[in-house]
Structure 1
Amino acid sequence: MAMKIYNGYEIVVLVAIVFLGSFMENSATTTGTNTTDMSTAILISVDQSGNADFKKIQDAIDAVPSKNSELYFIRIKPGTYREKLQVPVDKPFITLSGTLASNTIITWGDTGEINQSATLSVFASDFVARYLTIQNTFGTTGRAVALRVEGDRAAFYSCNILSYQDTLLDDTGRHYYNNCYIEGATDFICGNAASLFEKCHLHSLSTVGGAITAQHRNSSSEDTGYTFLNCKITGIGTALLGRPWGPYSRVVFALTYMSSVVVPQGWDDWGDPSKQSTVYYGEYRCYGPGADRTKRVGWSKSLSNQEATPFLTKDIIGGQGWLRPLPTHFKRGSTNVTVNVP
């Protein structure tokens, strides 16, 4: 931990060694043409008590200038923030960061159309969230998205994403989820993004046969799909690995622990046998009682080493070119505040 005092504000950056490695191994500028300084961010603080720049997270997001080219780091002090948030498309390079997901909670309880119910909607590119709980508390009787991601190049580290139906609308763009806990019952990771989930914990609340994924790839030419690498699946009842929202749905589980919550058939065609010949559902060297493939549907794949290789690195989302490290310098206006990262 490094601490500096500036104009009465306490600037604290907590860096857990276990998570720092995952940030630093992905150090890169976001694009070859972008000149944004990835080591320095403008700091904005949020605290419900009023001892910060803003009391509300949305007010802090709104304060970021349109079409900004600098990193903005919005530091959220512990608390439960009852807000329905949007990060607009014209505000890239924003980070929302708590200290721990367990004590920094963004919550709402909406339902209705899948595109309207999200607690947090991210439309901007180059977005990062760290150490947050994002939840929709509507309940079990309708669509209730916790997190909707439509911006390109979005990354989530050590976040809890919680709801029941359609928890994570991982809709469009390239996304990375690291060490996140994602909970739901029905199609609780859905959409048509190209996303890598690494070291994530997926927990099914389904009592009978709910689906973990509903990937929405619509044609063989779309370079989208979900990859789950070194993840863990648990639950309270039984669950499918996935079913096809789109006819060319693509999902791969690799090196993932599957508890007995995963039903023996593994996958479902959602009542449309024609999709069996167009979907791409693969498993590679998964383990645990739910990973037994002897009773899997015949149209899912047990991937060979060669077939699995493209799904085993961040290259599947082009991540080496845009995942960025934690900033090491912070500033307010023109004044720099140096933070020493171990």
Structure 2
Amino acid sequence: MGSSAMKIYSYVNILLVAFVFASFMAMATATTNSTDTASAILLRVDQSGKGDFKKIQDAIDAVPSNNKEFVFIWVKPGTYREKIVVPADKPFITISGTAPSTTIITWGDGGDIFESPTFTVLASDFVARYLTIENTFGSAGKAVALRVSANRAAFYGCKITSYQDTLLDDTGSHYYSNCYIEGATDFICGNAVSLFERCHIHSLSKVNGSITAQRRMSPSENTGFTFLGCKISGVGTAALGRPWGAYSRVVYALTYMSGVIAPQGWDSWGDQNKHRTTYYGEYKNYGPGADTSKRVGWSYKLSNDEAAPFLTKDMIGGNDWLRSFPKKFKKSSTIVAGKS
């Protein structure tokens, strides 16, 4: 924190977070396409019984199958002990708290990465805002907090925490903005194409942990993780990534890296054959962990031209699907709000 670069990062990040939260109920936070997203059906979740539902899952269940309207589920502050699934036939849902410190979704399941998640998203065109999503299973094995197996999903200002496989970023195009993601082992994993912008990545690994385990399986797959303008902190040492798939692709750009990052930067997961096929790149990062002089020989220090495709939302097609915050809310004639 003593360097001028870190001070600048912290100051800018504070301003960005303040702006996002100040505009929560007032303005758009993302580029939209030609679809009218100005209004949405409002459903309120309140544990005290003053809303339409007491449980988040009950609100999701009330949305009709093959939904074609934007639905905004506003979750009042509280700790919601639920294992949540957004089914594939219920697109266009937003689930929003007021702040991740006050709106907490928690569960404690471990084992299979597809069965253990606290929160599973299977529906396209999904948005989550200002939520904490946690798996409290502990450090004994795989325990996913958030699984995203859907196309066009965005997360703003969310806190996502577990230990191993915290975020199963499985399939689809995804956007994470100003999120806090914490874990120790392969805690951002999967085969989505995802942009992590201005996120805080915190490693709990004491030694030999890996932040990412990206699963790109062939050169024809347009998948990979990009971390743009992020911050990496931690308590021990960790690698930036290791290849779950032979063509694993991860890029860090304009990101602050604390001393938690091991000098070699990347791990081959014991398979030297993957040295020829993985794509691990770094571009203009800074901080004590960003020194590339001792990086593995099969990673890349990107030029301006090589980095350019990873520096915009074009890599996830975001300009076509990221949508604005609704300006108007309405009741629905098809969703029957009943207190549960």
Q: How high is the TM-score relative to the length of structure 1?
A: 0.90
For normalisation by structure 2, the TM-score amounts to: 0.90
Letter in 2 for 1:333: S
Write the distance in 2 (CA, Å) between the matches of 1:123 and 1:157.
18
Q: Which letter maps to 2:161?
A: L
Note the C-alpha offset of 1:28.
1.2
Q: How far did residue 27 of structure 1 move?
A: 2.6
Q: Can you list the C-alpha shifts for 1:186-237, whole angstroms capped at 9, x where unaligned?
A: 0000000000000000000001120000000000000000000000000000
Q: Judging changes above 3 Å, is the alpha-carbon distance between structure 1 residues 16 and 289 closer, same or farther for their aligned structure 2 residues?
A: closer
Structure 2 residue identity aligned to 1:239: A
Q: Provide, for residues 133-180 of structure 1, a one-character-per-residue CA deviation record: whole Å limited to 9, x for no partner.
A: 000000001100000001100000000000000000000000000000
In the TM superposition, what are the counterparts of 1:199-218 in structure 2 within 5 Å?
Answer: 199-218=198-217
Deviation of 1:112 after TM superposition, in Å, equals 1.1
2-structure distance, mates of 1:47, 1:275: 50
User: Which residue in 1 is equivalent to 2:31?
Assistant: 27
Cα deviations by residue, 1:114-150 (Å, 9 ceiling, x for unpaired): 1110000000000000000000000001100000001
Q: What residue is the counterpart of 1:254 in the other structure?
A: 253
The residue type equivalent to 2:174 in the other structure is H
Q: Could you tell me how far apart the structure 1 residues matched to 2:284 and 2:28 are?
A: 27
The amino acid that maps onto 2:20 is V
Distance in 1 between the 2:118 and 2:269 partners? 28
Report the residue type matching 1:195 in the other structure.
Answer: S
Shift of 1:16: 5.9
- Which residue in the other structure is 1:17 paired with? 19
| Equivalent in the alignment of 2:150 | 151
What's 1:7 paired with? none
Whole-angstrom distance in 1 between the partners of 2:75 and 2:113:
27
Find out whether 1:323 has 2:327 as its counterpart.
no
Match of 1:191 in 2: 190
- Give 1:25 deviation, angstroms: 5.7
Hey, what does 1:169 align to over in structure 2? 168
Cα distance in 1 for residues equivalent to 2:320 and 2:29: 12
Q: Which amino acid aligns with 1:265?
A: Q
Q: Residue in 2 aligned with 1:105?
A: 104
The answer as to whether partners of 2:29 and 2:325 remain within 8 angstroms in 1 is no
Please give the per-residue CA displacement for 1:266-306, whole angstroms capped at 9, x wherever unaligned.
00100000000000000000000000000000000000000
Structure 2 CA distance, aligned partners of 1:120 and 1:17? 27
Q: C-alpha separation between the residues in 2 aligned to 1:156 and 1:272?
A: 33
Residue 323 of structure 1 aligns to a residue whose secondary structure is coil
Question: Residue 171 of structure 2 aligns to a residue in which SS?
Answer: coil
- Give RMSD over aligned pairs: 1.5
How big is each residue's C-alpha offset from its partner over 1:52-88, in whole Å with a ceiling of 9 and x where there is no partner? 1000000000000111110000000000000000000
Name 2:233's counterpart in structure 1. 234
* Cα distance between partner residues in 2 of 1:124 and 1:243: 28
Provide the C-alpha distance between the structure 2 equivalents of 1:333 and 1:164, rounded to a whole number of angstroms.
40
| 3-state DSSP of counterpart to 1:183 | strand
Partner of 2:40: 41
Distance 1:27 1:252 in 2: 23
Amino acid in the other structure paired with 1:309:
A
Matched letter for residue 77 of structure 1: K
3-state DSSP of counterpart to 1:171: strand
Q: Match of 1:320, SS?
A: helix
Unaligned stretches of 5+ in structure 1?
1-14, 335-342
Which amino acid in structure 2 is aligned with residue 171 of structure 1? Answer: D
Q: Which residue of 1 aligns with 2:284?
A: 285
Matched residue SS, 1:188 = strand
Q: Alignment partner of 1:170: what SS?
A: strand
In the alignment, what sits opposite 1:222? 221
Give the Cα separation in 1 of the matches to 2:315 and 2:28.
19
Partner amino acid, structure 1, of 2:180 = Y
Q: Which sections of structure 2, spanning at least 5 residues, go unmatched?
A: 1-16, 334-340
Residue 95 in structure 1 maps to residue 94 in structure 2 = yes
Give distance in 1, aligned partners of 2:283 and 2:137: 36
State the secondary structure of the residue aligned to 1:187: strand
Aligned length: 315
Percent of pairs with identical residues? 70
How many angstroms does 1:24 deviate by? 3.2
1:17, distance to aligned residue in structure 2 (A): 3.1
> AA paired with 2:270?
G
CA–CA separation in structure 2 for the residues paired with 1:241 and 1:27: 30
AA partner of residue 139 (structure 1): G
* Whole-angstrom distance in 2 between the partners of 1:25 and 1:65: 27
Q: Give the distance between the partners of 2:178 and 2:276, measured in 1 at CA.
A: 33
SS in 1 for 2:44: strand
